[in-house]
Structure 1
Amino acid sequence: MEYIVGGYTMVSDVYFKDGSVFKADAGGSAYSVGGIKLWRDSLAYVGTAGKDFEEFFGQYYSNNDISLFIDKKLDKTLYYVLHYAEDGSWSEECKYGEAYERLSIAEAGLTPEMFKAPCGEDTKGIYIEAALNTKIVHRFVELKSYAPNAKLMWEIEGSDLYDPEKRGEILSLIPSADCYSMNVNEGKAFFDTKSEERVIKEIRDIDRTCFLRAGEKGAYWIEKQEVTFVPSFGVEDSVDATGCGNASTAAALIGYAEGLSPKVTVAMANISAYFTSRQHGVYPVNDADARKKAYEMLNKCL
């Protein structure tokens, strides 16, 4: 497969700051899959889930023709309750309790071996959303050996970025990925600053390619000391921003893996976020009409 997404298989009940609720959102890395599928067809999803996977995800992955490599080892797919705050930040808790969450995360962690089947010399990009307690973040070199021509994008877990005790470990692991991603709020916590400009400076000092998400404002591509910013699309049409970070980060991998310009890379990412924001939940079907519109939007901004 040309592109592979590995991450969290999870469902969410989303509570918005206006009091409205969207239940049973097929969230997590399903948004990442959608971000890539809008632009490219050869795509696989690797993950672990519960025996109820088909109930929540079957129709979406079938409608979008995604190759699945799922280990249904859990009794139930992780299910979260997510609350948005006034400033756009969010918090979540597992619907089945902390004990089940800890057990499931321990059992459900990604490993390089899970990627052997879809990986090959034709693989262009691998997107990983994973926390520090997941084995795979410590074995990126091994993972990349299965896809020698691929670029690896690591979307760092937000809770890890907010934990100052994990800063050193994250900094030590970033060089093992080809590029990484965080959002501005996470960056402010990680670098202990209130300044967006300081976040950008710190990322430049790390000297590893980074996709920095800035919410409704847009996103940055920071590579070889060069900083490229592209504003968001269609913020006024946004219904639900949930998953936009996942979708945009995964889409940014395409431009990086295929050697596209930073401006095109970020524009594609922002367009994937736009499609994600147009409704509650994942964009339902990334078909030819959706792709045509995406490219029309891309061409207009170049």
Structure 2
Amino acid sequence: MDIVTLGETMVLFTPDSTGLMRYANSFSRKFGGAESNYAIGLTRLGHQAGWISRVGDDELGKAMLAFIRGEGVDVSQVKVDDSAPTGIYFKEIRSANEVRVQYYRKGSAASRLSMEDIREDYIAQAKYLHISGITPALSESCHEAINEAIAIAKKHDVKIIFDPNLRKKLWTEDKARRVLLDLAAQVDIILPGIDEGKFMFGESDPETLGRLFLDQGASLVVLKVGAKGAYYFTNEESKLVSGFKVDQIVDPVGAGDGFAAGFTSGLLDGLSIEQAVQRGNAVGAMVTMINGDVEGLPEKYEVENFMNATGEDVSR
């Protein structure tokens, strides 16, 4: 297995019309969650990915499992919970520049994920463990599951990739900051956005944030700065890798997960850090051009065609 990730995926309902959701009469049903988005992104790029989670013993949970399994992700570690529902959320696209998300996830099956759901042998055989800051915000048992996964990864020298993925709606800011900083001190690679860096450290200068994250203990920091691209920082070097411009952003949700998948794919393929960040930038840009969390995740030949056709600076 190339990567193992753990966290909640929910059923996504999106109005078929733009504007205020109160006027919507019909919705499309999709699936979305940072960790499964990431796993699907990697399988489309030709890698092996496994997802640990829980879903409800309901029709929506069964549809979700079938969908994610159909995308090539290993779901053997997903438990079906007969006493809690599958979580759902609504994505209200008011305009191309304003997307609002409303979650209905309290008490969901995935929020009951616990350390008992984490198998040592499953994580031990992976090259990377991917975690996000969403999972520990769901419940104390989810936080314990994350800590257990980290401990196993460290025991077996599995590299840990951490995407803070800040969700302020899920917990208090003080607790979020404390937990995210604690996780940042335990991982090998961290993929924060500039706003997450500012939230965690109260700083907005990229160079300063890069040093602060490295001082926490990570060996590689990739700091996303929106359309400009992403910086990477190691103890030896740092550089801004330019992003790919797009003329029209259709749906920005999921772009960060696409970036993480593209970047990890580059590492798995033996690319340099700069080339891996460049691939991450390309996948992230491609995701924004398609409606849906996973619908815009490309296959490898599509990424290569996109990068070759656009270069780093050409509008699309």
Q: How many residues align?
A: 292
Partner in structure 2 of residue 66 of structure 1? 73
**Equivalents in 2 of 1:15, 1:214: separation in Å?**
29
Alignment partner, residue 171 of structure 1: 181
Structure 1 counterpart SS, 2:271: coil
The equivalent position to 2:202 in structure 1, one of 183, 192, 206, is 192
Instruction: Work out whether residues 84 and 108 of structure 2, in 8 Å CA contact, stay in contact via their aligned partners in 1.
Output: no
Equivalence map 1:1-302=2 (5 Å): 1-14=1-14, 19=19, 23-28=28-33, 29-51=35-57, 52-62=60-70, 64-69=71-76, 70-73=78-81, 75-82=84-91, 92-95=101-104, 101-102=106-107, 104=109, 106-107=111-112, 109=113, 111=115, 113-116=117-120, 118-121=122-125, 123-129=126-132, 130-132=135-137, 133=140, 134-144=143-153, 148-159=156-167, 163-196=173-206, 198-208=208-218, 209-224=220-235, 226-256=237-267, 260-284=271-295, 290-298=299-307
Cα-to-partner distance string for 1:262-296 (whole Å, 9 max, x where unaligned): 11111121222233223212444978xx3212234
Change (3 A) 1:105 1:57: closer
Residue 27 of structure 1: CA displacement?
Answer: 0.8
**Residues 174-183 or 249-258, more deviating:** 249-258
Cα deviation, 1:29-53, whole Å, max 9, x if unaligned, reads 3321232123223222221112222
2:24 aligned residue: none
How far apart, CA to CA, are the structure 1 residues paired with 2:145 and 2:233? 24
CA deviations over 1:34-73 (Å, ceiling 9, x no partner): 32123223222221112222324523531x2222131121
Q: Distance in 2 between matches of 1:115 and 1:175?
A: 23
Counterpart code for 1:25: K
String of CA shifts for 1:201-259, please: whole Å, max 9, x gaps: 43344352222222233222222263232222252253211111122123323344565
TM-score (norm 1): 0.78
Flag structure 2 segments of 5+ consecutive residues without an equivalent. 22-26
Distance 1:88 1:181, change over 3 A: farther
One-letter amino acid matched to 1:253: T
Q: Distance in 2 between matches of 1:83 and 1:199?
A: 32
Q: Deviation of residue 196 (structure 1)? A: 4.6
Deviation at 1:91, TM superposition (A): 5.7
Structure 1 residues 215, 199: CA separation in 2 closer, same or farther (over 3 Å shift)? same
**In structure 1, C-alpha distance between the alignment counterparts of 2:201 and 2:172, rounded to whole Å:** 9
Contact 2:118-2:145 within 8 A present in 1 as well: no
Distance in structure 1 (CA, Å) of the matches to 2:302 and 2:207: 33
Q: Could you say what secondary structure the match of 1:176 adopts?
A: coil
- Partners of 2:136 and 2:198 lie apart in 1 by 18
Q: Distance in 2 between matches of 1:84 and 1:149?
A: 42
Q: Kindly tell me: are residues 90 and 283 of structure 1, through their superposed partners in 2, closer, same or farther at Cα, counting changes over 3 Å?
A: closer
Alpha-carbon distance change, 53 to 196 in structure 1, aligned in 2, over 3 angstroms: same
**How many Å apart are 1:175 and its aligned residue?**
2.7
- Name the SS of the counterpart of 2:118 in structure 1: helix
CA-CA distance at 1:89 after TM superposition: 8.0
1:140 and 1:177 in contact (8 A); partners too:
no
Alpha-carbon contact 1:38-1:294 (below 8 Å) kept: no
- Name the aligned partner's letter for residue 291 of structure 1: K
3-state SS of paired residue (1:158)? coil
Overall identity of the aligned pairs, in %: 17
